[in-house]
Structure 1
Amino acid sequence: MSHSEKGHQVVSRSQWLAARRQLWLHEKALTHQRDELAAARLALPWVKVEQPYRFQGPDGELSLADLFAGRSQLLLYHFMFVEGWSEGCPGCSFLADHFDGANLHLAHHDVSLVAVSRAPYAEFQAFRQRMGWRFPWYSSQGSGFNEDFGVSVGTEGERHYNYEPYTDNEAELPGLSAFYRGQDGAVYHTYSTYARGLDILVNTYNFLDIAPLGRNEAGTMDWVRHHDRYEGQAGKPHCCHE
């Protein structure tokens, strides 16, 4: 006889195996759909980047091509940190906690992974040191880069984010953009994603999705804090959107 524990039936091993096989069929179908989606993403047309964007790094000014660090592919995370802030968005910081481990491998597969923020370069160095991050992180201050790639949406007029009208309060939002650099030095924009499209970057969610209680959150990232604020501190509310 079965009974309920945390809202779940408790059954025999054979009953569990029958249910697990049914779920396995769904998982296999999703795997094939994910493969198809990845192929469609790779098949997107590209746009040549014509604007001479400039960035600030530890050694001064750089071009977008410089951010590739000699590689042909660039993944650029639009990190929410604007002028006057003392710390970055908790949601962006949660994502960024996954970058250094990935970069150990991406650097050997012709891919650079970097972050770019609107704030002046000097303003996020103390926070970067506090977080212990090593991934490259640049400032786009003084250029239209954030607006052109859909993460600086302002506060007035017609506003769009994640390919649809945006009516919430934030003027700066998260995203990821991908670029390719050809042998002639030309740079092409190949892909951008925002909001829940960024879940793919968060391996912690992949672990939670197979934990017994799943993500166990009332709203997207509502439980997330800067990683040095989990012990006895409330931290700041999340600032990323569904």
Structure 2
Amino acid sequence: MNIQNHPVVSREEWLAARKQHLAREKAFTKERDKLSAERRALPWVKVDKDYHFQGPNGELKLADLFGGRSQLVIYHFMFAEGWDEGCPGCSYLSDHIDGANQHLTHHDVAVVAVSHAPFAEFQAFKRRMGWKFDWVSSAGCDFNYDFGVCARAEDVAAGKATYNYEKTDGSEEELPGLSVFYRNEAGEIFHTYSTYARGLDMLVGAYNYLDLTPKGRNEDEIMEWVRHHDRYAEEASSSCCHGS
């Protein structure tokens, strides 16, 4: 719809249209609640593999990432070895983690970002972004491959590489995703859920704001306009016009 020629009506007509749309919103909310319940009811897979990670104090096991909680959400952050900065899209999403963590850490949920690059390589970027959430490295283990955010060269060559549960021709070093785990009182760990691509939208609060506005997300391709949050000021400064 062309926003420049958007229909303008009386308050009474607007109210009638809004109530009609409200009925659809309520139906969608009920369907979303149902979908969330179905997600929680999915079967689990026991994690027996000995994954290891690198954190600020050395080696960590998967169990350590729970931080004493029973539920763990891992964001697979795109930052490969040799990169100077993280993926702008992953950074856009990650800008929302610290705010949520103020509440999640008190509700039996740990949120940890995991990247394939060696731990030391993304510390400067983390400081630059001002993030406080836990972010560890999976370098040297199969974690990123096993949870669908990295593809081995031989799998790409053989046409066996997958992303978002489908075969892909891509050969990117890393792709974004999210995986959820549960740890019971016996210390057993289970993989309960993973999502990729548009499944990550729900984590991006800024998109929910945009979806309420007249222009919406206003993008031709997903996140094409998104920058690292410290880059917007640079772009605004470089695009300033000065009268002659």
TM-score, length-scaled by structure 1: 0.93
State whether structure 2 residue 206 is matched by structure 1 residue 204. Answer: yes
Deviation per CA, 1:105-136, whole angstroms, max 9, x where unpaired?
Answer: 00000000010000000000000000000000
Aligned to 1:22: 20
Matches within 5 A, 1:178-217: 178-217=180-219
Q: 1:117 & 1:56 partners in 2: Cα distance? A: 10
Displacement, 1:5?
Answer: 5.6
Matches within 5 A, 1:108-127: 108-127=106-125
* More helix, by proportion: 2
Matches within 5 A, 1:1-242: 6-155=4-153, 156=156, 157=158, 158-233=160-235
Deviation per CA, 1:32-66, whole angstroms, max 9, x where unpaired?
Answer: 10000000000000100010000000000000000
Displacement, 1:202?
Answer: 0.3
* Partner secondary structure for residue 22 of structure 1: helix
Q: 2:22 & 2:7 partners in 1: Cα distance? A: 19
Query: What count of residue pairs does the alignment treat as equivalent?
Result: 231
Displacement, 1:25?
Answer: 1.0
Q: Which one-letter code corresponds to 2:135 in the other structure?
A: W
User: Cα gap change, 1:226/1:5 in structure 2, threshold over 3 Å: closer, same or farther?
Assistant: closer
TM-score, length-scaled by structure 2: 0.92
Q: Which one-letter code corresponds to 2:194 in the other structure?
A: S
* Partner secondary structure for residue 117 of structure 2: coil
Any conservation in 1 of the 2:180–2:192 contact (CA below 8 Å)?
A: yes
Q: Percent identity?
A: 64
Q: 2:137 & 2:4 partners in 1: Cα distance? A: 47
* Partner secondary structure for residue 225 of structure 1: coil
Any conservation in 1 of the 2:44–2:191 contact (CA below 8 Å)?
A: yes
Root mean square deviation, CA, Å:
1.3
Q: Which one-letter code corresponds to 1:147 in the other structure?
A: Y
* Moved segments of 4+, more than 4 Å: none
